[in-house]
């Protein structure tokens, strides 16, 4: 069976609608067809949490609850803790000796993190190599990512090919899997929804919070009056309706698009409809999370069992790597 791998840093940040549509939706949908590995990448989190390590354990539990609440099934998906699989770090070192510094320096995600104020440390510089090791250790065929993370998968593919050409076929060449909405715009109309940008709707937001954020959303800046013809394309309200509406919502969404373009419906009416659509989408996620939180020790057990399984797979890959490199001495 082919494999999928995708993970997240256990920071205090919560998942937002952009995270869901960008990769979580694909991961949940494909776990029935692929062997799925989902690491909680706490080693990556250390680049920003090096002085707040006492928070990581609680953050990992919260992240585990998030995964389960959106529909990841631990009977189908291996959810595990990255740092408890030390073979990943060892494989990352072997990849690093094949990687020129200039290649890492050009990684767009690294530049983005530096521009966001993260400390320019060796650990941060090593980030793309460790991420490549996450992917290659588990021989992932597909990596669900947001559009902005595509370069990481391409780098992992490049270094896997270099290793295979030099030592023999060990690694799978991974492919990125971009969500149906490559980049969900923020509520402020910016091109990207971001946790730190103040323009996100989170999966844990209450119905009241969702309503407040939607009613203040950016729509069409050229539309002054409700009777002015409006633009649907590029309008965040309609992008959200298309992304999160159910099949039953589609006729009404289509009708609102026609009315909006003719200047026959106001922004407030369409936004109220979007509030209803989003809360219908989020209600089951909120409910599952509330139920899961009432089961003490559930997340810890799932992570422990997942980590044990993940480590067995990582040990197999490490043995293959060492054999290919003629490092399986004695």
Q: What domains are there in the chain, each with its CATH number? A: 3-184+297-324 (3.40.50.620), 207-289 (1.10.240.10)
Q: Which two tokens stand for residue 79?
A: 């959810």
Neighbour order of strands in the sheet with 35-40: 77-81, 35-40, 3-5, 142-145, 175-178
pLDDT over 90 (residue 120): no
**With pLDDT > 70 as the criterion, what percentage of the chain qualifies?**
100
Please tell me the predicted confidence (pLDDT) of residue 48.
85
The rounded distance, in Å, linking the Cα atoms of 213 and 67 is 24
To the question of whether residue 10 is assigned a binding role by annotation, the answer is: yes
Q: Which two tokens stand for residue 42?
A: 């706490």
What is the DSSP secondary structure assignment for residue 222, as one 8-state letter? T
Please tell me the predicted confidence (pLDDT) of residue 150.
86
To the question of whether residue 18 is assigned a binding role by annotation, the answer is: yes
Question: What average pLDDT is seen over the chain?
Answer: 92
Please tell me the predicted confidence (pLDDT) of residue 1.
87
Please tell me the predicted confidence (pLDDT) of residue 92.
98
Reported as a single tens digit per residue, the pLDDT across 252-300 is 999 999 999 999 999 999 999 999 999 999 999 999 999 999 999 999 9
Catalytic residue, from 61, 84, 113, 309: name it: 113
Residue 300: CB partners within 8 Å, gap ≥ 6? 61
- Say whether 192 is catalytic: yes
Catalytic residue, from 84, 162, 195, 272: name it: 195
To the question of whether residue 51 is assigned a binding role by annotation, the answer is: no
Please, what is the Cα angle at 42 between 132 and 48, to 5 degrees? 95
Q: Which two tokens stand for residue 127?
A: 């980030």
Q: Which of 5, 329, 289, 328 is nearest to 160 (CA)?
A: 5
To the question of whether residue 304 is assigned a binding role by annotation, the answer is: no
pLDDT over 90 (residue 189): no
Sole residue written with tokens 């999370």: 289
To the question of whether residue 192 is assigned a binding role by annotation, the answer is: yes
To the question of whether residue 263 is assigned a binding role by annotation, the answer is: no
To the question of whether residue 161 is assigned a binding role by annotation, the answer is: no
Q: Which of 202, 204, 201 is nearest to 286 (CA)?
A: 204
- Say whether 195 is catalytic: yes
To the question of whether residue 98 is assigned a binding role by annotation, the answer is: no
To the question of whether residue 193 is assigned a binding role by annotation, the answer is: yes
Please tell me the predicted confidence (pLDDT) of residue 171.
98
Region 193-208 average pLDDT: 88
To the question of whether residue 146 is assigned a binding role by annotation, the answer is: yes
To the question of whether residue 316 is assigned a binding role by annotation, the answer is: no
Q: Which two tokens stand for residue 246?
A: 């159910």
Q: Which two tokens stand for residue 211?
A: 């309503």
The rounded distance, in Å, linking the Cα atoms of 228 and 260 is 8
Q: Could you tell me the pTM of the whole model?
A: 0.91
Region 156-176 average pLDDT: 97
Catalytic residue, from 61, 150, 192, 276: name it: 192
pLDDT-based confidence at residue 135 (cuts at 50, 70, 90) = very high
Reported as a single tens digit per residue, the pLDDT across 10-69 is 987 789 999 898 889 989 999 999 999 999 999 999 988 888 899 999 999 999 999 999
H/E segment holding residue 124:
helix 122-125
pLDDT over 80 (residue 182): no
Reported as a single tens digit per residue, the pLDDT across 84-110 is 999 999 999 999 999 999 998 888 878
The rounded distance, in Å, linking the Cα atoms of 88 and 132 is 10
Please tell me the predicted confidence (pLDDT) of residue 165.
98
């Amino acid at each position: 069976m082919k494999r999928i791998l995708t993970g997240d840093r256990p920071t205090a940040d919560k998942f937002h609608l952009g995270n869901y549509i960008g990769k979580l939706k694909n991961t949940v949908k494909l776990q029935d067809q692929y062997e799925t590995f989902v690491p909680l990448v706490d080693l990556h989190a250390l680049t920003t949490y090096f002085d707040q390590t006492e928070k990581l354990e609680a953050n990992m539990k919260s992240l585990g609850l998030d995964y389960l609440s959106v529909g990841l099934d631990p009977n189908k998906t291996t959810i595990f803790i990255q740092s408890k699989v030390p073979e990943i770090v060892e494989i990352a070192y072997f990849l690093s000796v094949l990687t020129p510094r200039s290649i890492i320096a050009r990684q767009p995600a690294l530049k983005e993190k530096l521009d966001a104020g993260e400390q320019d440390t060796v650990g941060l510089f090593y980030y793309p190599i460790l991420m490549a090791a996450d992917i290659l250790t588990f021989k992932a065929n597909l990596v669900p990512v947001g559009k902005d993370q595509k370069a990481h998968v391409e780098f992992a593919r490049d270094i896997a090919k270099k290793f295979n050409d030099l030592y023999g076929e060990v690694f799978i060449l991974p492919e990125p899997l971009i969500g149906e909405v490559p980049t969900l715009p923020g509520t402020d109309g910016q091109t990207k929804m971001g946790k730190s940008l103040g323009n996100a709707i989170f999966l844990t937001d209450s119905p009241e919070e969702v309503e407040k954020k939607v009613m203040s959303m950016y729509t069409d800046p050229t539309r002054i009056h409700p009777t002015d013809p409006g633009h649907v394309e590029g309008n965040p309200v309609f992008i959200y309706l298309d992304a999160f509406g159910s099949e039953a919502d589609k006729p009404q969404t289509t009708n609102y698009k026609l009315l909006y373009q003719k200047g026959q419906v106001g922004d407030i009416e369409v936004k109220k409809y979007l509030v209803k659509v989003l809360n219908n989408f989020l209600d089951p996620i909120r409910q599952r999370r509330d139920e899961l939180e009432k089961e003490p020790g559930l997340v810890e057990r799932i992570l422990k069992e997942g980590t044990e399984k993940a480590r067995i797979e990582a040990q197999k890959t490490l043995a293959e790597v060492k054999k290919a490199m003629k490092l399986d001495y004695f």
